[in-house]
Structure 1
Amino acid sequence: MSDAAKALEPVFEPWKDPSQKPLIRFENVTKRFGDFTAIDDLTINIYEKEFFALLGPSGCGKTTMMRMLGGFETPTEGSITIDGQDMSAVPPNKRAVNMMFQSYALFPHLSVADNIAFGLKRDKLPADQIAARVEEMLSLVQLNKFASRKPHQISGGQRQRVALARSLAKAPKLLLLDEPLGALDKKLRQDTQFELMDIQETTGTTFVIVTHDQEEAMTVASRIAVMDHGKIVQVDTPAKIYEEPGNIYVADFIGDVNLIKGKVVKSGNDHASISWAEGQQDLTGIAHDEIPHGTEATLAIRPEKVTISTDRPEGVTNALSGTVLDIAYLGNMSTYVIEAANGTLIKAQAANTRRISRRAITWEQQVWLSFTDTAGVVLTS
């Protein structure tokens, strides 16, 4: 497809279209285990062909949500519907849902092809249909030449693709992925993330992935639900969650961030300013809702949006000075930790675009930090 044709393609945002019906709907779902509430009055819609990520720390409820979708747990209260059908009385084996586990759960005595064919054979499909579908799945995950090998004769990344092919062989409406890349090393995990995205787009299957890896969720998902203590605290696209987190928890959980506390001294026109240290210039960031004067607030600003310089910057909205405490050289970029007024620590990142970069900035040096009025977000909760 040409770049021009791609540019004319509609943006995939069914959640913004009132005429679109969700494939999955959680409505006022609560799940308790004894006195413990794992899911607390949760309502959410997930749409067909989405790659939807449930993201949060251990114990936040994301795996419980997935198990309820798969039919392995039932809600204490509320309802779950898939494609308009109430799932309360539908057992796991009768749902158009497949689940792929972190362990992959491949049969060690079966070949790659027979692992993929397992569910199709249980459904007693004709042999020619099974053979055609297995060949199609092998091509999808690029494992045709490994069809006759056993799982122990292929790599971890290849086993992951076999498990994926087996999960997709029966053409489920929904595929649930429980930490599917957790067993892979970092480089392979990153490569496999893009493979997952390509396969999801090719098949058009709705994927719901559970992960605690923020980078993984940001890479693969069309939308992310950030969870905390059984509640969803924000659902949005990766870009929106990163650039405009809805609260301090989301800002702090996703990526690296500076959190500068203060009190609101001005608000309006989609911006707010905070007073954060005596004798220091007020700092301004995005705030779509007007915030009352004097409200305690936090400016969240990502390190890569903070410019570091040895000279006082001119013509910028936000500027402050401090002393360099630490420098971390990370190859593609360097991270600087600056101690500003009141002992506030602020990180700034600079890309190392040249072989010897930022040589002028060193430890214990006085520097200036600056950023625009749209670089940070002012949060009150």
Structure 2
Amino acid sequence: MPQKIFAPWDDPQEKPLIRFQNVTKRFGDFTAIDSIDLDIYAREFFALLGPSGCGKTTLMRMLAGFETPSSGTILLAGQDIAPVAPNQRAVNMMFQSYALFPHLSVWDNIAFGLRREKRPKDQVAARVEEMLKLTRLTKFARRKPHQISGGQRQRVALARSLAKAPKLLLLDEPLGALDKKLREETQFELMDIQEKTGTTFVIVTHDQEEAMTVASRVAVMDEGKLMQIATPDRIYEAPNSVYVADFIGDVNIIEGKAHQVGELVQLDWAEGQPALAARTDKNLGLAQTCYLAIRPEKVSISADRPGGANALQGEIIDIAYLGNLSTYHVKLPTGHVIKAQQANTRRISRRPFTWEDKVWVSWTETAAVVLDQ
């Protein structure tokens, strides 16, 4: 039997675990969160993504109870959480700094919250052992935080956060202190642990790759507003604005005036240059300003003029070699720079193009996303 795809947000019968209803948060004259509506479902790994100061941490702190909304309601499992004290919520928060007790062993750090609840000793011991196993820390149980690596400390903080079996775990830039390789490994560990425990995770990050890797859905934020909420593939392939397209991954943006016939848009974008063609389901006004967003991996590069609609000639001014990929920066006569990406499939294959080569860049009518904002 095929496995059911996890997409509770597409099921009108599903009730969200968390619901933000018209939530605004002001600090004096500054609006950190601007009338946000947002639903997050049980068992989701949800990412809040955006640049520093966009409001993502404020949103998380309101869930944890460290901030209260200036207006609007936050519901957790159908209940308004405003009157509930932070330590009474079925919510736990894991901080960027991990905030471990340096004088306590790994075992005692994990047990700390359980002991404060005056749970029976055998119950505490069983739960700590379970968490040590889950986070693969059993053999480090007697060590102090300074005797283990950064990645292991991160797992201790996670084990401690999960020990009390919260409905919701909030992770504030949890992998920020780890180096790139370890961060990538830990992302998969986090996903694995989230799946095993079935806990709803909400992660705050400014690292787009991280959000795209771990999350079931991503909310892209800017200046206290939600710009787009969708699955990672939708955010990447079908961004709803230039801001989202530009924030996630690498992209070429070309501005112009639209002339639409049915699904086909002709874009007048530069004097003396042929119009560019793209397919869209949007209805654009005549000569309306719009934008084409084309990912570099969808742009082909060739020495000879290719057939098809969108073919432009330019000169290579830069090459970024990234091991598995090469990105060519091609400057057009108009001054626009188009990035084209090629996979390096052969080992030490002779690069077909080099600096100052005259080349053609091209893409299909369906490769570009047409955006009107």
Residues 242 and 255 of structure 1 are in contact (CA less than 8 Å); yes or no, is this contact kept in structure 2?
yes
Counterpart amino acid of residue 62 in structure 2: M
Paired residues, number: 373
Is 2:160 the partner of 1:166?
A: yes
Is 2:327 the partner of 1:352?
A: no
Distance in 2, Cα, partners of 1:267 & 1:175: 49
Counterpart amino acid of residue 315 in structure 2: T
Question: Taking every aligned residue pair, what percent have the same amino acid on both sides?
Answer: 69
Deviation of 1:292 (Å): 1.1
Deviation of 1:293 (Å): 1.6
Q: Deviations over 1:203-241 (max 9, x none)?
A: 100000001111110110000000011000100011101
Distance in 1, Cα, partners of 2:67 & 2:320: 46
Deviation of 1:85 (Å): 0.5
Q: Deviations over 1:66-105 (max 9, x none)?
A: 0000000000000000000101100101100000001000
In structure 1, the partner of 2:329 is: 337
Distance in 1, Cα, partners of 2:252 & 2:86: 44
Is 2:348 the partner of 1:367?
A: no
After superposition, where does 1:219-230 map in structure 2 within 5 Å? 219-230=213-224
Is 2:79 the partner of 1:79?
A: no
Distance in 1, Cα, partners of 2:95 & 2:261: 48
In structure 2, the partner of 1:285 is: 278
Aligned match for 2:54, one of 46, 60, 63: 60
After superposition, where does 1:74-153 map in structure 2 within 5 Å? 74-153=68-147
Counterpart amino acid of residue 293 in structure 2: A
Distance in 2, Cα, partners of 1:339 & 1:60: 33
Deviation of 1:358 (Å): 5.5
After the TM superposition, which of the residue ranges 169-178 and 367-376 deviates more from structure 2?
367-376
Counterpart amino acid of residue 297 in structure 1: C
Deviation of 1:379 (Å): 0.9
After superposition, where does 1:131-280 map in structure 2 within 5 Å? 131-269=125-263, 271-280=264-273
TM normalised by structure 1 equals: 0.96
Distance in 2, Cα, partners of 1:26 & 1:83: 12
Residues 267 and 292 of structure 1 are in contact (CA less than 8 Å); yes or no, is this contact kept in structure 2?
no
Deviation of 1:330 (Å): 1.6
Counterpart amino acid of residue 123 in structure 1: E
- Give the secondary-structure state (helix, strand or coil) at the position aligned to 1:343: coil
Distance in 1, Cα, partners of 2:165 & 2:79: 18
Deviation of 1:62 (Å): 0.4
After the TM superposition, which of the residue ranges 283-292 and 348-357 deviates more from structure 2?
283-292
In structure 1, the partner of 2:6 is: 12
Deviation of 1:267 (Å): 4.6
Is 2:42 the partner of 1:42?
A: no
- Give the secondary-structure state (helix, strand or coil) at the position aligned to 2:277: strand
- RMSD of the alignment, in Å? 1.1
For structure 2, the 5+ residue unaligned runs are none
Distance in 2, Cα, partners of 1:237 & 1:87: 27
Distance in 2, Cα, partners of 1:126 & 1:196: 29
Counterpart amino acid of residue 353 in structure 1: T
Deviation of 1:371 (Å): 1.2
After superposition, where does 1:310-329 map in structure 2 within 5 Å? 310-314=303-307, 316-329=308-321
Counterpart amino acid of residue 59 in structure 1: G
Residues 177 and 207 of structure 1 are in contact (CA less than 8 Å); yes or no, is this contact kept in structure 2?
yes
In structure 2, the partner of 1:295 is: 288
Distance in 1, Cα, partners of 2:261 & 2:118: 66
